[in-house]
Amino acid sequence: MQGILNSPIRLALLVFLGMIAVIASVLAFEHLGGYIPCALCLKQREPYYAAIPVGLIALIGLQWNWPKLLVQSALVITGLLVMYSLALAAYHSGVEWAWWAGPSECAASGGSGETTATAESLLSQLSLSKPPSCDEAAGRFLGLSFAGWNVVVSAIIASMAFRAAAVAGNKN
């Protein structure tokens, strides 16, 4: 473990693979598991979508011995983007626990209960449908919702990105 924590390339690889795993997991829960994400769930993904290519730049830069400042900057930006997802997830968790109100786009959906019979009615229904409410967790595992787990995982990934930046700056 000590070798991993002192190797910027291994840390950057773990950061990159961790971010890929997060996005792959949420997409699998959505498309294979049938969980429909709320507005805040979707917003939590956006920093990861930005951080993945930046993390890849850092990883390539470490492999090809690019200038330290460029590599460190990419790792810090990656960490900051993941921290932004963490902040969104913490906010979302608070909404789920009713500690504060969520944004207006997180209002509960109001389905009509009608069965769709034609393509026209399907298109009409799609334009009226809303994502699920942000104040109800789709499920909990070990007491945490998806947003709660995003807080934990994002904290780990961000700390590894910052550690990689620090270690990369100390290498000759």
Over the stretch 74-114, which tens digit does the pLDDT of each residue have? Answer: 999 999 999 999 999 999 999 888 888 888 777 654 444 44
User: Can you give the pLDDT at residue 43?
Assistant: 93
Instruction: State the burial class of residue 146 (Cβ atoms within 10 Å of its Cβ: 0-12, 13-18, 19+).
Output: buried
Q: How many helices (H) and strands (E) does the chain have?
A: 6, 0
111: which residues sit within 8 A by CB, 6+ positions away? Answer: 129
Q: Which residue has the higher pLDDT, 106 or 145?
A: 145
* Distance in angstroms (rounded) separating the CA atoms of residues 68 and 51: 19
Q: How confident is the model at residue 118 (pLDDT cuts 50, 70, 90)?
A: low
Dig out the tokens for 30 from the structure.
């959505």
Listed range (12-26, 67-81, 116-130) with the worst mean pLDDT: 116-130
Alpha-carbon distance 168 to 133, whole Å?
Answer: 43
Q: With 80 as the cut, is the pLDDT of residue 115 above it?
A: no
Delimit the domains of the chain by residue range: 2-101+117-170
Residues 164, 10: Cα–Cα separation, whole Å: 8
pLDDT for 113: 44
Q: What does pTM read for this prediction?
A: 0.82
Q: Which of 113-117, 134-138, 167-171 has the highest mean pLDDT?
A: 167-171
Share of the chain above pLDDT 70, in %: 82
pLDDT at 165: 96
Q: What's the pLDDT at 143? A: 82
Amino acid 89: pLDDT = 95
Phi, psi of 93, rounded to the nearest 5 degrees: -60, -40
Task: Give me the chain's average pLDDT, please.
Answer: 85
Mean pLDDT of the 17-43 span: 92
What residue ranges in 11-127 does DSSP mark as E strands?
A: none
